[in-house]
Amino acid sequence: MTAAPGTRNPADGSALDPVAPTPIEEIPEIVRRARAAQPVWAHLPLSERIEATFAIARRVLERRAEAMVILSAETGKSEAECLLSEVAGIMDFAKGAARAAKKALAPEKIPLSVLDYPGKKVVVEAVARGVVGIIAPWNYPLGNFYKPIFPALLAGNGVVLKPSEHSPRSGAWLAEVCAEILPKGLVGVVQGGGEVGTALIDHVDALTFTGSVRTGRKVAARSGERLIPCSVELGGKDAAIVLADCDLGRTAVGVAMWGMHNAGQNCAAIERVYVEEAIADRFVERLGKVAAALHVAPAAEPTDFGPMQNEMQLRIVEEHVDEARAKGATVVAGGKRTGRGLGYEPTVLDRCTEDMRVVREETFGPVLAVLRVRDAEEAVLRANDSAYGLNGSVWTTDLARGAALARRLEVGVALVNNHAFTGILPETPWTGTKDTGPGIASSRHAYGTFVRRRTVLVDAGKNPDPWWFPANEDTYAFGEALALRALGSLRALLRLAGLFKKRIAAIRRLGAG
């Protein structure tokens, strides 16, 4: 009998105490509490909200030992990997998020012509949406919350977190930390599967979702029915293009790093590697040696990465590798389970073809599919032949050429000689194209989800505007003079002064009764 999601340590299969799902009927009250706390929070100066988010980051670091125990139990990763990938960088992220917030939330003054709009001033303000729902996946069960929760709070919103049912404890722990710092009820948490997520959408004012394309479409559709903003990031099938002039050793380690970090359970993991034929044999040999030297938890310490997080995803990885092998791919390294927990060996497949699932579908495991190409042109064309478009990278010593090729990739994040790590940069947009979805995480550009824009106009003018009632024999002449002035007529400009006075006089007579 298969264990319920989130009740087994993926590394050794040991039991974890189950986390009860939130009853559907309780979700409106959790959102209501966040909504009740939100107005006071939103009216605090941004500087105070920033200090509160810094306090959250500081508390996470102070309680990091607890976090690592929970993360390691839910993911099977070593505590060292958990510390580096999800805990140690939180303060730097909070500081960068604050800098982005200052830009995104600053009032914008709109310039107006003093001639056409005398006495008027316009400012555009950022207003908190209210309560933001955050539905996060299981691959980085704590870190996945950072991108949305910091801007949501900095913008003045309340927040309700929904962790994955595969990793419920990490999100609950983060909500507990937030409760120590923030007003009571401002950050809530709900637990459970898809039905809980659906119920949450029905009550919040905005939503961020990270997960599968299939679920993301449903989330976006439901949000659309409610007319609430929704930012979705729906995975990827990232490609790396390895050119013949690359630094072979650095590139082999870099491609392995970003293909197998976190056991490849990364939406921006390299899954397809397009290698120029001139160096393919040497590169594949080097990449295979790098993969074979990596250690999977808990078989050795220190470990390079942990096991697969759940049995369902491990089966997908196995299906992709088995099908590729059956269709002629060469297994250079790995290709099977480690034999402990849900571990899967770091795997390199050579001579893959476009008809293989490991090339077309998201594998989400420590598997690199190598495809040999004639040249860079073929590599770009084949890399772009994908349903996804999150990250893409070019590996070369010719930086100018690499940047030009990277800009031709149909992705949201294009890199040269690196991959994926911009996801930890809070002032840099994290976004994609195609089935990856249109959502933007991080940076000032993400704030369309967290705030609405409000225009405020103040008119200090003493005169009425000349286009007000009543319409009379001068109305058309005034409009004609405006049009001619816009075309550069000096005569029309001179006529406007006299027509303006006549219009104002007529309006004042109407107002005087």
210, β-bridge pairs: 233
DSSP assignment letter at 85 = I
* Cβ-proximal residues to 55 (8 Å cutoff; 6+ apart), any chain: 181
Q: Are 395 and 251 in contact (CB under 8 A)?
A: yes
Q: Which of 309, 289, 287, 313 is nearest to 297 (CA)?
A: 309
The residue behind tokens 């970090």 is 261
DSSP assignment letter at 418 = -
Q: Which of 143, 183, 153, 162 is nearest to 40 (CA)?
A: 183
Extract the tokens encoding 177: 């930390």
Question: Per the residue annotation, which of 230, 267, 271, 362 is the catalytic one?
Answer: 267
Q: Which helix (H) or strand (E) holds 415?
A: strand 413-416
Extract the tokens encoding 442: 């991080």
DSSP assignment letter at 8 = B
* Strand pairing report for 158-162 and 131-135: parallel
The yes-or-no answer on residue 427 being catalytic is no
Residue-by-residue DSSP string for 347-376: EEEES--TTSHHHHS---SSEEEEEEESSH
Strands (E) in 196-262, as ranges, are 206-210, 230-233, 238-242
The yes-or-no answer on residue 233 being catalytic is yes
Enumerate the H helices of 63-121 as residue ranges: 64-75, 79-82, 90-105
Whole-angstrom distance, CA of residue 155 vs CA of residue 402? 38
Q: Which amino acid is at 228?
A: I
Helix 399-406 with 376-384: angle, nearest 10 deg? 30
Whole-angstrom distance, CA of residue 324 vs CA of residue 355? 9
Question: Per the residue annotation, which of 233, 271, 276, 345 is the catalytic one?
Answer: 233
Whole-angstrom distance, CA of residue 19 vs CA of residue 66? 17
Dihedral of the CA atoms 107, 113, 116, 119 (nearest 10)?
A: 50
Hey, CA dihedral for 497, 498, 503, 504, is it positive or negative?
positive
Q: First vs last Cα of the chain: how many Å apart?
A: 86
Residues labelled catalytic: 233, 267
